[in-house]
């Protein structure tokens, strides 16, 4: 692998980042997404996959897995901020509201702290449906430095 190949695929380096920098990703959650997520993870809780069961829950209909919405945060981190080459170290999440089939979830990340000496950043991680916050938390990410390339 050449250094140019690495640089062409790599996202942002720690030196490229600024406090308050933000990125987001939006996805419409489909029935197929929920079914695939259930199949991949083995989480077959009927509140996610069974209309008849879900009708008797507090939500009255099927809801998406909380971690399906949470996984969209990983999409933002891995593809946009800081992007390819970054390593997810830690995540805390608080689920605030359900997501229903057909709703659009927007995952947003914002840099709260940059720890240069440890090559880490702390991100505010949130998901929204319309303008309603449905998930909140913080993530710790390891970010490469341009200095290691020299």
Looking at 3.10.129.10, 3.40.50.620, 3.40.50.450, 3.40.50.150, the CATH number of the domain 3-149 comes to: 3.10.129.10
Which of 26, 71, 34, 33 is CA-nearest to residue 54?
34
| Cα–Cα distance, 69 to 82 (Å, whole number) | 19
Q: Would the pTM count as exceeding 0.75?
A: yes
**133: pLDDT confidence band, cut at 50, 70 and 90?**
very high
Residues ≥6 apart with Cβ < 8 Å to 106:
24, 25, 26, 127, 128, 129
- What tens digit of pLDDT does each residue of 43-99 get? 999 999 999 999 999 999 999 999 999 999 999 999 999 999 999 999 999 999 999
- Give the per-residue pLDDT at 1: 53
Facing residues of 90 across strands?
140
Domain boundaries defined on the chain: 3-149
Tell me what the pLDDT averaged over the chain comes to: 95
């Amino acid at each position: 692998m050449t250094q140019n190949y690495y640089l062409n695929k790599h996202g942002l380096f720690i030196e490229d980042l600024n406090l308050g920098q933000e990125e987001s990703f939006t996805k419409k959650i489909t029935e197929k997404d929920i079914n695939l997520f259930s199949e991949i993870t083995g989480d077959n809780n009927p509140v996610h996959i069974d209309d008849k069961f879900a009708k008797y829950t507090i939500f009255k209909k099927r809801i998406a897995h909380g971690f399906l919405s949470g996984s969209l945060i990983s999409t933002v981190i891995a593809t946009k901020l800081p992007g390819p080459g970054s390593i997810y170290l830690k995540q805390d999440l608080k689920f605030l509201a359900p997501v229903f089939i057909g709703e659009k979830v927007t995952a947003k990340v914002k840099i709260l702290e940059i720890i240069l000496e440890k090559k880490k950043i702390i991100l505010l991680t949130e998901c929204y449906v319309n303008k309603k916050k449905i998930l909140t938390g913080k993530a710790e990410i390891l970010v490469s430095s341009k200095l290691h390339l020299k």
